[in-house]
Homo-oligomer: A and B are copies of this chain.
């Protein structure tokens, strides 16, 4: 029935209690459940009932606003990704567990080790969403007065990802022997120092945990800037991206997949999954009503603050019912691609600041799809079949209701059309995504390294 071989891939973006900045005020949102593991456990089990490939946690190392009112009106407390994903690994069986970790404020040894540990805990379901951070406030929590430049953060990220992969490879797959008789727990000739000495990091290795079940946990990236695209073409296996129109998305898809050959990679080694923010109604009218209800939940100060933070430019001095001001991308040092995307959108559609923040308060630059389950499925099918996407990262407006609706109303249609799985078939996240298990790049002959002895 579908024009493409295989099925689309689906992630669900767990921003709890909702993606829309005012969604915690929704009558059906679990606002006071945000620090309750039992609540989040049920959400994960719902996502697994929906056969999602993976659930995704974003991350920041600071509160989101410094403005008193915006701080008060928004949700700034959440579980830290490694602790929450590890807990969720014990109450789910199939769904992938994607944690965001910044390369700007961490050390490769810790990151490689924790993802390896999560991968073993979950029997091969871990994935790392690599980000470079963009909030000024995060720098001030890590001994810096201001954050590193965008380009510098990407240079560090390049090296960081390489070191992490080498550490995952520092134990060969068959290192563990467990031979009680000969007192040989491990074959030490299969444990390798990496002796990395780079511009940013010096790491001897080996890691103190066996090679991950998946070889490497799946590497996810989001950057849509030039630097982000090159890093993704070389290192990413899933790209979470943000596009408003089919044409833009197709162009990005062609562009990014076209960059992979020069790194010796084929296009199917990377899955492009734009975000979608589904506003679902059983009828078109109900969908419009649901959207209105959501828009009216956004407090003005929080809306302006969110938009300002997203584009890296403070809009609080401007008329909220006036046009987007005439500033250019050179004035911002973060989220450059998002700034341009949103400025273009405002200019193209003639939006006021209020209208723009209403549009992005949920989807935050991703695509909002409003309609009946059939209409939403149509749109997803169109993007999938036209190679604008290999799948989607679904961003429910609020939890649990928005997720329940997607699982109960949209997924069955996608399944009926042969666009999405009815049962999990892979044992690991990597298998469910159709990604091959990486070879060990440190084994002799490929990239010779000194053994630890």
Indicate whether A245 reaches chain B with its CB closer than 8 angstroms.
Answer: no
Instruction: Give the contacting residue for A86; candidates B76, B84, B145; CB below 8 A.
Output: B84
Interface string of A48-71 (1 = CB under 8 A from B): 000000000000111110111101
**CB distance A208 to B63 under 8 Å?**
yes
Most buried by B among A82, A171, A184: A82
Copies of this chain, whole number: 2
Most buried by B among A61, A118, A121, A137: A121
Indicate whether A42 reaches chain B with its CB closer than 8 angstroms.
Answer: no
Q: What chain B residues lie within 8 Å of A435 (beta carbons)?
A: none
Instruction: Give the contacting residue for A143; candidates B71, B116, B201; CB below 8 A.
Output: B201
Which residues of A are interface residues toward B (Cβ below 8 A)?
A: 22, 24-25, 27, 31-32, 35, 37, 41, 60-64, 66-69, 71-80, 82-84, 86-87, 89-91, 105-107, 109-110, 113-114, 116-118, 120-121, 137, 140-145, 171, 176, 178, 180, 183-189, 191, 201-206, 208-210, 299, 302, 452-453
Given A63-B191, A63-B208, A142-B109, does the pair A84, B185 have CB atoms closer than 8 Å? Answer: no
**CB distance A206 to B176 under 8 Å?**
no
The chain B residue sitting closest to A187, CB to CB, is B72
Measured CA separation A201–B143 after assembly (Å): 6
Q: What chain B residues lie within 8 Å of A184 (beta carbons)?
A: 72-73
For residue A210, give the distance in angstroms from its CB to the closest CB of chain B. Answer: 4
Q: What chain B residues lie within 8 Å of A141 (beta carbons)?
A: 109, 203-205
**CB distance A84 to B121 under 8 Å?**
yes
Q: What chain B residues lie within 8 Å of A140 (beta carbons)?
A: 202-204
13 contacts between A and B (CB under 8 A): A25-B183, A31-B185, A60-B208, A71-B452, A72-B185, A73-B183, A73-B184, A76-B208, A77-B208, A77-B210, A80-B114, A84-B117, A87-B87
**CB distance B61 to A120 under 8 Å?**
no
The chain B residue sitting closest to A66, CB to CB, is B452
New contact pairs (11) apart from A37-B89, A41-B90, A87-B87, CB-CB < 8 Å = A31-B180, A31-B185, A60-B208, A69-B188, A73-B185, A74-B185, A76-B208, A77-B171, A77-B186, A77-B208, A80-B114
